[in-house]
């Protein structure tokens, strides 16, 4: 096929009426001018045919020439299913005395908007753009941008009785039907409002290329096919969009739907891509702005195609008068068009800054809940503030339920709701232009729902209990924060880095930790431990603090905890957190204080919610990087064990893990055999678990590890934790440790409730050790008296009462705040921790 045969381009199966010509009228609907009803009532052809359409007004038969305004029965029920032999169910019953009067002629044209019609563009010639059949390929393997797409949509609307079809008897279309708007070829000048002349000439040249040449060219480009009809079809699609928009702007029709292809929104000014040749919607936008500078200045383009409309974004990126909003699957830029440009922080530039709104879904799977949420939270507020003169929907239906390529679940009802919401903008001037959508059934059903809505049919109800996915809520929150710089209606506002006072801001997170560090230092002379490991240093600076003698021969409590929690009563009007109405809860500190008073040495480890802030630009930081946090906690636990506990002399080591931090300690016990050997100083793990899952101890080479862990742990678990649910957990396992059901739910409450219990346990363990030590000392003495042994070690364990004095002055001063401190060895000059004869480690040689 060298060029398009003239006859191919004539009106084929459908007869398209000239633009703005009424197709005729029949029946009536609720919004029609009453005087019209009367005129038709007198006409012999009148038959109330389209009663199946909800909200149609059932009018009396021709013989009844009166009108009863007060009788509610005039207004039909929803569709009546039974075939009615008589459409006169509104005729007043004979027994009812009803006032009958003839209404006066209307003084004003009533409801001009609702009595005008919806326009529809469809031209079967746009089906000629098709992929050349490849005879090597499976005939089933049809390109998704299939010419049948537009036919399927048109037929659906036709079958619903909303538009005259080509084979319909040659009668006038009824009041309820769409008004056909003729598609024409867009002119060169119109297309070049968006595209370069080179691009236009290139597409034009495809008409004369051979099949092989076309295949080669398309293979060199991005997701596109061509044939010799491509140029004409693309011009028709653009022209269809233009005429639909012009008819709406002029007021010839109430609103319009353009069933056009090839689609447009991926086409760049100088290149076709993603099944798109000319960018129909931007071309129509520019034409309307040019033709109607007074009445069509500001245009909102809402793109609900599942792909980002890169071409539309780029066409108007610096234009303050075109607001482009796109909802699309983004997946970090790993979904077509695979550009970073679809991300939320692409907001326009120059005078167009803030006139580009991307809502980039993190993944597939979004549905009605997420789309409605986006409309309510971002799109409608922004659209209202923008106040456009015309709304164009780039209506791809590839986010529809059933479209495999899009993988989303938007129902026809949701498309109807979205249309309905946008219909209140721009005095109802809205045009729906088809973009993608590849499941023929899905696109037809969705487009029908949209068409019905344009024709003033209220949308179907949405499913009950819609609730947006957490990932979608986060996306919307991100968009709002970014766009709140440009839109008065959007909150929360971001910190303004250009604010002169910005340099004086500091995260409360840092302030509190520094304060904690200082308090612990002042009260207990605790000092920060250096963490000299590249990936941990930044995250845990100031977060690991120890009492001065933690390396010496004392019991040692190692507490891993979350940062203190903040409780606030925000101002009811501003929502702002004020310092005088904000409280800090730090129950972990109670344990630290208690332990020190009871002669334990303590290492206090705060695990920040956000473990590393790479680019602290004052913005919001998500707190859900739990993976990174768990990883860092594990690394830190191992580091502290290797450098600060295992090489030194603590007589007993008690691990305490609060919240998610406990996971890192279970991992430590799993991975380090020397934690659980019989001569290990590790006495137990005390865990506090609320939302976190229960971690089991695991060691491939040791079958007894579960038994050891059960005997050496106390894990307090919140009352409602699923581990207690007999439907989910048949029985408790030893590898989970000794689980204790707390009557409380929150960590702070649990810590307070079980404080006595934990403290009693620690003291008991400590005194058991002291008793054993004492016995060992006595045994040694006896042996010595019997002359059987050489003298014992220089000193036994220090008496707790003597601890206060030696601590003075023994602070390793260079241990404080120095990043250069060697990680181990420097201070391990004290006497060995293990007394000979201690029953705890008597069978094992001292290291």
What positions carry a catalytic annotation? 266
Residues in 334-363 that interact with Zn ion by CB under 5 A: none
What CA–CA distances, in Å, run from 469 to 304, 364, 372, 374? 18, 11, 12, 12
What CA–CA distances, in Å, run from 531 to 535, 545, 605, 815? 10, 11, 12, 11
> Which of 152, 268, 305, 780 touches Zn ion (CB under 5 A)?
305
DSSP string, 228-272: TTHHHHHHHHHHHHHHHHHHHHHTSSSEEEEE-SS--TT-BTTB-
Residue 760 exposed, middle or buried by CB count within 10 Å (0-12, 13-18, 19+): exposed
800-828: buried (b, 16+ CB within 10 Å) or exposed (e) per residue? eeeeeeebeeeeeeebbeeeebeeeeebe
Which residues are bridge partners to 565 per DSSP? 585
Nearer to Zn ion, 444 or 675 (CB): 444
Report CA torsion sign: 529, 530, 532, 538.
positive
324: Cβ contacts below 8 Å, ≥ 6 apart? 301, 303, 309, 312, 313, 316, 355, 356, 357
Span of 300-308, 485-493, 567-575, 724-732 interacting with Zn ion by CB under 5 A: 300-308
Span of 65-73, 74-82, 299-307, 759-767 interacting with Zn ion by CB under 5 A: 299-307
In the complex, the smallest distance separating the C-beta of residue 452 from Zn ion, rounded to whole angstroms, is: 23
Nearer to Zn ion, 272 or 659 (CB): 272
Question: According to the binding rule CB under 5 A, does residue 307 interact with Zn ion?
Answer: yes
Q: How far apart are CA 144 and CA 306, in angstroms?
A: 14
Let me know: does 312 contact 282? Beta carbons within 8 Å. Answer: yes
Q: How far apart are CA 755 and CA 498, in angstroms?
A: 48
In the complex, the smallest distance separating the C-beta of residue 305 from Zn ion, rounded to whole angstroms, is: 4
Span of 136-144, 236-244, 302-310, 701-709 interacting with Zn ion by CB under 5 A: 302-310
In the complex, the smallest distance separating the C-beta of residue 398 from Zn ion, rounded to whole angstroms, is: 4
Span of 90-98, 179-187, 391-399, 641-649 interacting with Zn ion by CB under 5 A: 391-399
773: Cβ contacts below 8 Å, ≥ 6 apart? 796, 797, 835, 838
Q: How far apart are CA 757 and CA 741, in angstroms?
A: 13
In the complex, the smallest distance separating the C-beta of residue 744 from Zn ion, rounded to whole angstroms, is: 51
Residues in 318-337 that interact with Zn ion by CB under 5 A: none
In the complex, the smallest distance separating the C-beta of residue 325 from Zn ion, rounded to whole angstroms, is: 15
Span of 303-311, 515-523, 706-714, 830-838 interacting with Zn ion by CB under 5 A: 303-311
In the complex, the smallest distance separating the C-beta of residue 304 from Zn ion, rounded to whole angstroms, is: 10
In the complex, the smallest distance separating the C-beta of residue 267 from Zn ion, rounded to whole angstroms, is: 12
Nearer to Zn ion, 396 or 737 (CB): 396
What is the number of other CB atoms lying within 10 angstroms of the CB of residue 475?
26
Nearer to Zn ion, 312 or 422 (CB): 312
Nearer to Zn ion, 440 or 732 (CB): 440
> Which of 25, 131, 377, 398 touches Zn ion (CB under 5 A)?
398
In the complex, the smallest distance separating the C-beta of residue 432 from Zn ion, rounded to whole angstroms, is: 15
In the complex, the smallest distance separating the C-beta of residue 314 from Zn ion, rounded to whole angstroms, is: 16
Tell me the chain's radius of gyration from C-alpha atoms.
38
Residue 222 per-residue DSSP state: B
Residues in 187-226 that interact with Zn ion by CB under 5 A: none
Q: Which residue's C-beta sits nearest to Zn ion?
A: 436
Residues in 164-183 that interact with Zn ion by CB under 5 A: none
Nearer to Zn ion, 314 or 833 (CB): 314
Nearer to Zn ion, 326 or 483 (CB): 326
Q: How far apart are CA 627 and CA 632, in angstroms?
A: 9
Nearer to Zn ion, 307 or 777 (CB): 307
Cβ-defined contacts of 496-499 (< 8 Å, 24+): 497/617, 497/618
What CA–CA distances, in Å, run from 388 to 108, 371, 391, 419, 467? 27, 21, 7, 15, 30
686: Cβ contacts below 8 Å, ≥ 6 apart? 654, 655, 656, 657, 713, 714, 715, 716, 758, 761
Nearest to 315 by CA among 334, 301, 329: 301
Element (H, E) at 397: none
Span of 291-299, 392-400, 445-453, 503-511 interacting with Zn ion by CB under 5 A: 392-400
The number of residues that bind Zn ion (CB under 5 A) is: 5
Q: How far apart are CA 237 and CA 700, in angstroms?
A: 66
Nearer to Zn ion, 190 or 398 (CB): 398
Let me know: does 59 contact 143? Beta carbons within 8 Å. Answer: no
Residue 174 per-residue DSSP state: P
Residues in 404-443 that interact with Zn ion by CB under 5 A: 436
Span of 195-203, 396-404, 610-618, 825-833 interacting with Zn ion by CB under 5 A: 396-404
In the complex, the smallest distance separating the C-beta of residue 300 from Zn ion, rounded to whole angstroms, is: 19
Nearer to Zn ion, 305 or 748 (CB): 305
Q: How far apart are CA 158 and CA 148, in angstroms?
A: 15
Let me know: does 653 contact 682? Beta carbons within 8 Å. Answer: yes
The residues binding Zn ion (CB under 5 A) are: 305, 307, 396, 398, 436
């Amino acid at each position: 096929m060298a060029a398009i045969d003239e006859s191919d381009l004539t009106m084929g199966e459908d007869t398209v009426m000239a633009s703005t010509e009424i197709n005729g009228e029949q029946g009536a609907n609720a919004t029609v001018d009453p005087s019209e009803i009367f005129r038709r009532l007198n006409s012999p052809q009148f038959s109330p045919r389209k009663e199946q359409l909800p909200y149609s007004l059932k009018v009396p038969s021709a013989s009844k020439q009166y009108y009863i305004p007060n009788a509610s029965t005039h207004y039909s029920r929803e569709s009546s299913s039974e075939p009615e032999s008589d459409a006169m169910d509104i005729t007043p019953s004979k027994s009812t005395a009803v006032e009958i009067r003839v209404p006066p002629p209307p003084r004003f044209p009533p409801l001009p908007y609702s009595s005008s019609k919806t326009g529809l563009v469809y031209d079967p010639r746009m089906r000629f753009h098709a992929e050349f059949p490849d005879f090597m390929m499976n005939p089933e393997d049809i390109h998704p941008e299939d010419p049948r797409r537009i036919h399927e949509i048109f037929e659906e609307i036709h079958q619903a009785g909303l538009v005259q079809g080509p084979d319909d008897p040659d009668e006038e279309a009824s009041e309820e039907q769409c008004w056909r708007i003729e598609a024409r070829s867009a002119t060169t000048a119109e297309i070049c409002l968006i595209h370069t002349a080179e691009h236009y000439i290139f597409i034009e040249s495809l008409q004369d290329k051979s099949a092989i040449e076309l295949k080669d060219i398309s293979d060199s480009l991005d997701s596109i096919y061509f044939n010799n009809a491509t140029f004409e079809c693309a011009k028709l699609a653009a022209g269809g969009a233009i005429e639909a928009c012009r008819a709406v702007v002029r007021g010839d029709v109430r609103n319009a739907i353009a069933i056009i292809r090839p689609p447009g929104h991926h086409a760049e000014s100088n290149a076709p891509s993603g099944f798109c040749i000319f960018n129909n919607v931007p071309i129509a936008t520019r034409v309307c702005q040019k033709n109607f500078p007074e009445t069509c200045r500001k245009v909102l383009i809402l793109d609900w195609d599942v792909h980002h409309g890169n071409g539309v974004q780029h066409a108007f990126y610096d234009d303050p008068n075109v607001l482009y909003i796109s909802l699309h699957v983004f997946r970090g830029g790993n979904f077509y068009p695979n550009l970073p440009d679809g991300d939320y922080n692409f907001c326009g530039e120059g005078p167009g800054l803030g006139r580009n709104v991307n809502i980039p879904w993190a993944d597939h799977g979004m549905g009605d809940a997420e789309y409605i949420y986006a409309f309510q939270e971002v799109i409608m507020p922004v659209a209202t503030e923008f106040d456009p003169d015309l709304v164009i929907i780039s209506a791809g239906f590839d986010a529809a339920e059933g479209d495999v390529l899009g993988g989303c679940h938007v129902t026809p009802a949701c498309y109807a709701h979205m249309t309905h919401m946008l219909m209140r903008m721009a005095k109802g001037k809205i045009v729906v232009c088809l973009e993608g959508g590849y499941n023929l059934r899905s696109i037809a059903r969705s487009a029908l729902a949209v068409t019905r809505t344009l024709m003033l049919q209220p949308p179907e109800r949405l499913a009950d209990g819609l609730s947006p996915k957490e990932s979608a809520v986060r996306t919307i929150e991100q968009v709002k924060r970014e766009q709140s710089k440009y839109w008065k209606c959007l909150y929360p506002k971001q910190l303004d880095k250009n604010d002169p006072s910005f340099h004086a801001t500091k995260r409360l997170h840092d302030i509190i930790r520094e304060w904690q560090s200082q308090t612990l230092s002042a009260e207990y002379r605790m000092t920060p431990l250096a963490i000299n490991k590249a990936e941990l240093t930044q995250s845990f600076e100031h977060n690991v603090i120890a009492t001065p003698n933690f390396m010496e021969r004392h019991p040692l409590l190692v507490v891993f905890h979350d940062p203190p929690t903040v409780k606030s009563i925000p101002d009811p009007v501003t929502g702002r957190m004020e310092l005088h109405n904000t409280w800090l809860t730090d129950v972990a500190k109670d344990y630290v204080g208690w332990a020190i008073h009871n002669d334990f040495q303590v290492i206090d480890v705060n695990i920040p919610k956000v473990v590393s802030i790479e680019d602290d630009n004052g913005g919001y930081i998500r707190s859900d990087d739990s993976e990174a946090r768990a990883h860092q906690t594990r690394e830190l636990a191992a580091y502290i064990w290797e450098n600060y506990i295992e090489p030194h002399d603590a007589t007993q080591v008690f691990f305490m893990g609060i919240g998610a931090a406990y996971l890192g300690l279970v991992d430590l016990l799993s991975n380090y055999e020397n934690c659980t050997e019989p001569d290990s100083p590790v006495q137990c793990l005390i865990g506090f678990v609320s939302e976190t899952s229960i971690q089991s101890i695991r060691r491939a080479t040791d079958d007894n590890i579960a038994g050891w862990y059960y005997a050496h742990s106390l894990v307090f678990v919140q009352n409602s934790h699923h581990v207690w649910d007999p439907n989910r957990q048949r029985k408790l396992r030893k590898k989970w440790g000794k689980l204790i059901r707390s009557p409380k739910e929150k960590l702070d409450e649990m810590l307070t409730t079980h404080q006595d219990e934990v403290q009693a346990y620690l003291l008991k363990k400590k005194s058991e050790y002291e008793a054993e030590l004492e016995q060992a000392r006595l045994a040694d003495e006896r042996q010595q008296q019997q002359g059987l042994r050489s003298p014992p070690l220089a000193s036994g364990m220090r008496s707790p009462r003597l601890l206060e004095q030696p601590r003075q002055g023994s602070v390793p001063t260079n241990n404080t705040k120095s990043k250069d401190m060697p990680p181990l060895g420097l201070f391990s000059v004290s006497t060995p921790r293990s007394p000979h004869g201690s029953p705890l480690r008597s069978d094992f040689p001292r290291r």
